[in-house]
Amino acid sequence: MSTTDPFVLAWNSIKYHSANMMDQADKHFDSIATTIRQKANDSSSWIPQLPSLKTPPPPPPPAPVVVVGKKVGGGVWRWVGENKWIVMGFAVVVLGGGVWVVRKRGQRRRRKALKAGNGARKEVVVIHGQPHDPIVKSTAHDLERRGFIVYIAVSSHEDEQAVLAEGKADIKPLQIDILDTLSARSSISRFTSYLKSPVTPFPGAPTHHLKFTSLILIPDSNFPSGPIETIPLDHWSDTFNLKLIQTLAITQLFLPLITEFRGRVVFVTPGIGYSLRLPFHAPEVAAVGALEGVIGCLRREVAAAGVQVCWIKVGTVDLGTPERKGGRESATRADVLSWSPAMRSIYARGYMSSKSVGDGVRGSSLKEVNAAIVAGMLDKRAKKVMRVGSGSVAYEVIGRWVPEGVVGWMLGLNGGRRVTESVRGSPSGVQSLESSVEWERVDK
């Protein structure tokens, strides 16, 4: 059937030529196959010879290196098994050293004051304490060397002159009359304005602002001592006014400034007497115990404002003054001789024993106290309680965990009952103890 459709004509033409090409290709491949079969029947010399079907040879032995490695590894494991304690010790040393290095790198403690962009000092600290106290003087000079501007709170003209006599441009007095509330608040207001005002360190230099870093409270470490019934009430009043009330007053005045700048509060108190509840040191134990309660409450109150409070308990410290053991013993015996004979017979032996606590302990350097104060000021997470100085940790453990009877025996308090009974039995006991004390005083 014919058609004139061009598409149909084209399609038929393609089918015809494709079928023709396929027929030619089949004929060509058939001829090639026939030729190959003929060549294979005529001669097979050109075909590669296949290997004979025999038993394959055994595999080559393992490489010598592998055998040597197994022998070496077995020897190492055998040595490790025979010397496991040495290996464990080495592993502990390596692991501990690695942990120590990682912690040291992670802490990156700052030990100096930050400086302003123009190179001037900008961090300010305030110290409250007696200017003549060795710890106060050492702390002020140490912080000044670290780049801080140090202010020492004073309340009298004599204390102000004592601070100026240090001869340091960055150790300055800060006059605060605690007894006059209006004057004290006015002084704090002026100090706050000074901190918030721009400062020009030298002509032509760009201005910068100061930063209040820390308030350091160091109550005087001199406390009255003796039996409670012999300490006058005015001594108790003076102790609480100087050690407790003044410390609370300064803290109260600076708290708004501390919370605004997110500064730190650092308390530095003696630690041995309070840790042992040392007999005949009731004013010291009472004052430090009251401060402990205040510190605990203050820490929880200001925590929400981002303020940290650190308490440093100081043990036996070498204050750099020549030790006068004979003079101290003479003063102790003089105190004993000022009591009545009955009180002397009851308390003399225990009082003299308590005054000798820590005599055989070598005092630590003031640098340890300075380092602890700097840690309390600058560490990212300051410890709540730090103990520095010889005996600060040992005496606290003894006072907290050792039975009271054992502590009394260690302090030499077991002789009081025998002396009392002898006094009540005959008055000769009083005379013998009195003569013994006087004899020791003259002999020394």
Write down the pLDDT at residue 211: 94
Write down the pLDDT at residue 436: 43
pLDDT for residue 98 is more than 70: yes
Give yes or no for a contact between 220 and 269, defined as CB atoms under 8 angstroms apart. no
Does the global pTM surpass 0.85? Answer: no
Give domain limits for the chain: 123-318+362-400, 325-360+414-444
pLDDT for residue 442 is more than 60: no
User: CA-CA distance, 235 to 223, in Å (whole number)?
Assistant: 9
Coil, helix or strand for 279? coil
Inter-axis angle of helices 282-302 and 246-261, to 10 degrees?
20
16-20, 250-254, 371-375, 415-419, range with the lowest pLDDT: 415-419
User: CA-CA distance, 377 to 385, in Å (whole number)?
Assistant: 13
CATH assignment of 123-318+362-400? 3.40.50.720
pLDDT tens digit sequence for 147-205 = 999 999 999 999 999 999 988 999 999 999 988 889 999 999 999 999 999 988 877 77
Mean pLDDT of 331-350: 86
Give yes or no for a contact between 375 and 266, defined as CB atoms under 8 angstroms apart. no
Write down the pLDDT at residue 5: 63
Share of residues in the chain with pLDDT > 90 (%): 40
Max mean pLDDT among 33-42, 77-86, 89-98, 300-309 falls in: 300-309
Nearest to 163 by CA among 228, 417, 154: 154
pLDDT tens digit sequence for 72-92 = 556 777 777 777 777 777 877
HSE (side-chain half, CA atoms, 13 Å) at 438: 9
Share of residues in the chain with pLDDT > 70 (%): 76
Give yes or no for a contact between 400 and 275, defined as CB atoms under 8 angstroms apart. yes
Write down the pLDDT at residue 164: 93
